[in-house]
Amino acid sequence: MKILGIDYGRSKIGLAISEGFLAEPYQVIKYKNPRQLAEKIMQLIEKEDIGKVIIGVSEGEMGAESKKFAIEISLLTKAIVETYDETLTTHDAQELSMEAGISQKRRHEMEDAYAAAVMLQNYLNNQLD
């Protein structure tokens, strides 16, 4: 089953996909209208035949927005939608991409997708335990 990981943000989101036990950065979507974002996500879920969506949730106000987004997506799709703690994933993604020698420009462009991949990989690893 394909799994989509989402690092939710107010103006852009990072996406990662897994078809097994390895999460890979997929893309970053910039948006202004949350409704259009939901539509893009639904199209992606259908196009990629996604069976499960994991949405990263942090603390505080952003966490509440992420949970609201998760509910919205769950109402629009047949895919299973879950939330998962994404605390420090952006920081971890930055460190890993620097260690991998990814250029600063590319890191900046794909930072949210890398964070989504770290969060999704943590989720997958936790499922194995």
Look up the CATH number of the domain holding residue 109.
Answer: 3.30.420.140
Count the neighbouring beta carbons within 10 Å of the beta carbon of residue 10. Answer: 9
Range of the domain at 76: 2-128
- Amino acid 101: pLDDT: 64
pTM, two decimal places: 0.86
**Residues of the chain predicted below pLDDT 70:** 88-109, 129
Q: Find, among 115, 105, 110, the residue nearest to 23 by Cα.
A: 115
- For residue 51, the model assigns a pLDDT of 97
Q: DSSP character for 49?
A: T
Distance CA 80, CA 85 (A): 17
- How many domains, in total, are found in the chain? 1
Distance CA 2, CA 101 (A): 28
